[in-house]
Amino acid sequence: MNEVVNGEAVAVGPGPLGIADVVRVARHGVAVRLTDDAVAAMAASRSRVEELAESPTPAYGVSTGFGALATRHIAPEMRARLQRSLIRSHAAGSGPQVEIEVVRAMMLLRLSTLATGHTGVRPGTAATLAGMLNAKITPVVHEYGSLGCSGDLAPLSHVALAMMGEGTVTDAAGRTTPAAEALKQAGIEPVEPVAKEGLALINGTDGMLGMLSLAIEDLSLLLTTADLAAAMSVEGLLGTDYVFAADLQELRPHPGQAVAAANMRALLAGSGIMAGHRDGSCTRVQDAYSLRCAPQVAGAARDTLTHAVMVASRELASAIDNPVVLADGRVESNGNFHGAPLGYVLDFLAIPVADVASMSERRTDRFLDVARSHGLPAFLAGDPGVDSGHMIAQYTQAAVVSELKRLAVPASVDSIPSSAMQEDHVSMGWSAARKLRRAVDGLTRVLAVEILTAARGLDLRRPAEPAPATGAVLAALRQEVPGPGPDRFMAPEIEAVVRMIGDRTLLTAAESVTGPLG
């Protein structure tokens, strides 16, 4: 079950995974491999749980009920039923199906916690989860159900249910099928959870952390793309790159700002368009904020992302369960499942996503207004009046930006008590993660419209030539999207640029001139 799929398998052991490991397994289908150290750690902690299971002294999650029902002692002959009942009752999600990459991230991160040896599960139980990942059997998980405390209970319960051979999954071919059938075809024996295992499989922050890891990967690409879009707009709107000079940026030494400004200098180096308006004839003293302050905004977004990476890295080094088995054999209840650290940073990221998009939309709008575009036709139309050009593409941007502002409202400030007031404060971190995923998609679309618009503006500036880097981007774009002309069906062109952002086509074109951008 540990065969390599799409590259070398990711080793899962007591040590932490990296964000890149999560992306490789979740998004690119790379296989996983439990290390020998992981198997030994799980076996050792399992023996301690079995001792507790045989003891007359109640132990939470081993010989008691859960949550507000923790005061009931469960007889030994009922404990296997207790674990199965826990998983079945907690698999109470509702709504649309969550994306496969998110579920795979959850599965990997739960496996990583099991592999620490702090949860008390049998090695064979962890091996079943690894086998499902490698066979690309993905449990169907639903949009609603997690309060982000005690972790992502409902989403992880749907995963655990599939491990038991119950519920539904998506198989390697993308078909929705009964879990029992998919496991049988893959040669995987369903798990029959024993004492403590049901709780260990569902009590974690893995959904929140998985979505944060994927968002970090996406935003690392999008913030560099935002610098590219801004550079194309500054050039197309006859702005100046003087304000991006290194000595000016050093007066305010935020690291993200320095990176963004350096990117823009590299992208605009050698611009024929800019050379043409440096002859003393330009009377504008300053560019608008959306041009001049682009590194300050995208840079602050980068610094926020750096903070998110720190939080994610700490969480990836964590063992989230309740109770946990400690190195000295103690089994202790704790509150580490609370999603506040993740909820806060997921909400935090949604703020700069909205603001970077808002600035992008303002630059796009400048291209379309004859009062501010410095000689370009109204709406960049082929025949203004007969043609509408990019008028409604900007409407689409504005609609997305408005949505992004709503998505920037934090989820983590809310709390609805649950479990008969035993769980009287929850993080809503899952909700923060879900809205951040939507926000990342929205930012991609806003940047796509800006790039599409700036490219048309650059074309309309000819015979003045763009910079070699922005020119390379323009050439790559024109392989998919035609240049200026009469109105045509816009939606496919926007989608083409969305795809070219996501697969790095545009950045690769720029970096063929500049070298790696930050």
pLDDT digits (tens, 9 = 90+) for 462-481: 999 999 999 999 999 999 99
447 is a domain residue: yes
Q: What is the mean pLDDT of residues 280-287?
A: 71
Q: Are 153 and 64 in contact (CB under 8 A)?
A: no
The answer to whether the Cα torsion of 427, 157, 39, 67 is positive or negative is positive
Q: What is the mean pLDDT of residues 167-177?
A: 97
Distance CA 301, CA 348 (A): 10
Same domain? For 166 and 187 the reply is yes
For residue 21, the SS3 value is helix
* Domains identified in the chain, total number: 2
For residue 466, the SS3 value is coil
The domain in which residue 139 lies consists of 10-204
Q: What is the mean pLDDT of residues 337-347?
A: 96
For residue 293, the SS3 value is coil
**Paired strand residues for 10:** 32
CATH number, domain at 419? 1.20.200.10
Q: What is the mean pLDDT of residues 334-339?
A: 92
- DSSP for 220-238 reads HHHHHHHHHHHHHHHHHTT
Tokens representing 217 are 């990967």
Same domain? For 119 and 162 the reply is yes
Same domain? For 193 and 226 the reply is no
From first CA to last CA, the distance across the chain in angstroms is: 39
Distance CA 106, CA 209 (A): 8
> Among 204, 234, 260, which residue terminates a domain?
204
Q: Are 317 and 16 in contact (CB under 8 A)?
A: yes
How many C-beta atoms surround the C-beta of residue 332 within 10 A? 11
The answer to whether the Cα torsion of 179, 182, 185, 187 is positive or negative is negative
Same domain? For 198 and 64 the reply is yes
Q: Are 402 and 313 in contact (CB under 8 A)?
A: no
Q: 130: pLDDT confidence band, cut at 50, 70 and 90?
A: very high
Same domain? For 419 and 467 the reply is yes
Cα 24 off chain centre by: 13
Q: What is the mean pLDDT of residues 48-77?
A: 74
Q: Are 407 and 433 in contact (CB under 8 A)?
A: no
Residue appearing with tokens 């408005």: 402
Task: Evaluate if residue 62 carries a pLDDT over 60.
Answer: yes
199 is a domain residue: yes
Q: 351: pLDDT confidence band, cut at 50, 70 and 90?
A: very high
Element (H, E) at 304: helix 294-316
Q: 282: pLDDT confidence band, cut at 50, 70 and 90?
A: low
- Alpha-carbon Rg of the chain, whole angstroms? 26
Q: What is the mean pLDDT of the chain?
A: 94
Same domain? For 263 and 192 the reply is no
pLDDT at 82: 83
pLDDT at 151: 86
5 is a domain residue: no
Task: Evaluate if residue 89 carries a pLDDT over 90.
Answer: yes
Q: 4: pLDDT confidence band, cut at 50, 70 and 90?
A: very low
> Among 172, 204, 236, which residue terminates a domain?
204
- DSSP for 243-293 reads GG-HHHHTTS--HHHHHHHHHHHHHHTT-HHHHHT-SS----S---HHHHT
Task: Evaluate if residue 150 carries a pLDDT over 90.
Answer: no
> Among 149, 169, 204, which residue terminates a domain?
204
3 is a domain residue: no
Q: 422: pLDDT confidence band, cut at 50, 70 and 90?
A: confident
169 is a domain residue: yes
Same domain? For 273 and 166 the reply is no
pTM over 0.85: yes
CATH number, domain at 195? 1.10.275.10
Q: What is the mean pLDDT of residues 2-27?
A: 86
414 is a domain residue: yes
Residue appearing with tokens 């590299």: 266
Same domain? For 221 and 248 the reply is yes
Task: Establish whether 60 is a catalytic residue.
Answer: yes
Choose, from 60, 242, 289, 344, the residue flagged as catalytic: 60
Same domain? For 278 and 238 the reply is yes
Q: 260: pLDDT confidence band, cut at 50, 70 and 90?
A: very high
What digits encode the pLDDT tens for the residues 484-497? 999 999 999 999 99
Distance CA 2, CA 131 (A): 7
152-168 burial, b at 16+ Cβ within 10 Å, e below that, comes to bbbbbbbbbbbbbbbbb
Task: Evaluate if residue 145 carries a pLDDT over 50.
Answer: yes
The answer to whether the Cα torsion of 150, 154, 156, 162 is positive or negative is positive
Distance CA 126, CA 104 (A): 14
Of 150, 149, 98, 207, the closest CA to residue 433 belongs to 207
The answer to whether the Cα torsion of 478, 480, 485, 491 is positive or negative is negative
Q: 279: pLDDT confidence band, cut at 50, 70 and 90?
A: low
Q: 66: pLDDT confidence band, cut at 50, 70 and 90?
A: low
90 is a domain residue: yes
Of 220, 229, 304, the closest CA to residue 264 belongs to 229
Is cis: bond before 139, omega within 30 of 0? Answer: no
What digits encode the pLDDT tens for the residues 187-219? 999 999 998 999 999 999 999 999 999 999 999
Same domain? For 163 and 228 the reply is no
- DSSP for 308-335 reads HHHHHHHHHT----SSEE-TTS-EE---
Q: 78: pLDDT confidence band, cut at 50, 70 and 90?
A: confident
Residue appearing with tokens 């560019």: 287
Same domain? For 176 and 221 the reply is no
Same domain? For 129 and 234 the reply is no
60 is a domain residue: yes
DSSP code for 138: E
